[in-house]
Chain A
Amino acid sequence: GDSVTQMEGPVTLSEEAFLTINCTYTATGYPSLFWYVQYPGEGLQLLLKATKADDKGSNKGFEATYRKETTSFHLEKGSVQVSDSAVYFCALGYPAISSGSARQLTFGSGTQLTVLP
C-alpha cells in the first residue's frame, strides 16, 4: 500500500535559517503530493501541492519539487520566520477516479518546527 515517511522532529531553527523537511513516499500509482501545515490550535491547511513528476509547488516562500526518481517531495524555505512555527505534514493522494469516488489522503507523521527569534 501507499505510505509517506517524514523526517523525525522536532526541528528547531533560528530566524532566517534555511529549512529542509524531508519527505519520501511509496505509491502504487501516480499520486499528487502535498504539504499541509497545522498552526497551534488550528486545523490542517494546504500549504502547497504538485500533481506530477518534476512539478514544483510553492507558497509563502516554501517550495517542494516532485521527484519521481527519488520518490521524494522535500519541503524547503530559504529564510524561516517565527510565524512559521507549526507542524508540517507531507501527504499523497489521488484524484477521484469517478465522480462518485472520494479518495483519501495518506499522511506522514508530521514534523514539528520551532523557529526561535
Chain B
Amino acid sequence: EPEVTQTPSHQVTQMGQEVILRCVPISNHLYFYWYRQILGQKVEFLVSFYNNEISEKSEIFDDQFSVERPDGSNFTLKIRSTKLEDSAMYFCASSVRTAGEAFFGQGTRLTVV
C-alpha cells in the first residue's frame, strides 16, 4: 500500500540551528501539506503546496519556515533558525484532491535544546 514517508523520525537540534525535515509523498498525489503538533496540543496546519508553489499558509508559517519540492519526489520543510517553541511533532501529508483524503506520514519529532 502506498504511504507517505518522513525522515528522520526524531531530530534533536540546538537553538538557532537550521533543520530540514524530509517527506516523500505518495507518487501520484498533487497536494502536499505540513502540520505540526506541540506535545499535548492540537494538530495545527502550517502550509499547503500545489503546482510547485505555496497554496495556503497559517500565521505560524513565518519567514523562518520554507518549503520546497526540489526533485519532484521529496517535499521538505526548512526551519531557518530554530527556537525552543519549534519543538513539536511535524507531520507531512499528501492528497490527490481534497484535503480530507490526505494521507499522513508517521511524523518527525523535532526537539530543540
The stretch that binds A, out of B41-49, B71-79, B80-88, is: B41-49
Are B43 and A49 in contact, CB atoms less than 8 angstroms apart?
no
Residues of B contacting A45 with CB < 8 Å? 104
Q: Chain A binding site: helix, strand, loop or mixed by DSSP?
A: loop
Known: A105-B102, A107-B43, A109-B41. A95 touches B97 (CB 8 A): yes
Selected contact of A46 from candidates B42, B51, B100, CB within 8 Å: B100
Interface size on B, residues (CB 8 A): 32
Known: A93-B100, A106-B45. A101 touches B106 (CB 8 A): no
Are B97 and A104 in contact, CB atoms less than 8 angstroms apart?
no
Nearest Cβ on chain A to B53's Cβ, whole angstroms: 9
Distance between Cα atoms of A42 and B4 in the complex (Å): 11
Are A94 and B50 in contact, CB atoms less than 8 angstroms apart?
no
A-B CB pair tally, cutoff 8 Å: 83
Are B98 and A93 in contact, CB atoms less than 8 angstroms apart?
yes
- A106: nearest chain-B partner, CB-CB: B45
Are B98 and A89 in contact, CB atoms less than 8 angstroms apart?
no
- B43: nearest chain-A partner, CB-CB: A107
A residues bordering B, Cβ < 8 Å? 32, 34, 36, 41-46, 49, 89, 91, 93-96, 100-110
Beyond the given pairs A91-B100, A104-B48, A105-B100, 17 more chain A to chain B contacts, judged by CB atoms under 8 angstroms and listed by A's residue number, are A32-B98, A43-B4, A44-B43, A46-B101, A46-B102, A93-B98, A95-B100, A96-B97, A96-B99, A100-B55, A103-B48, A103-B98, A104-B58, A104-B99, A105-B35, A107-B44, A109-B42
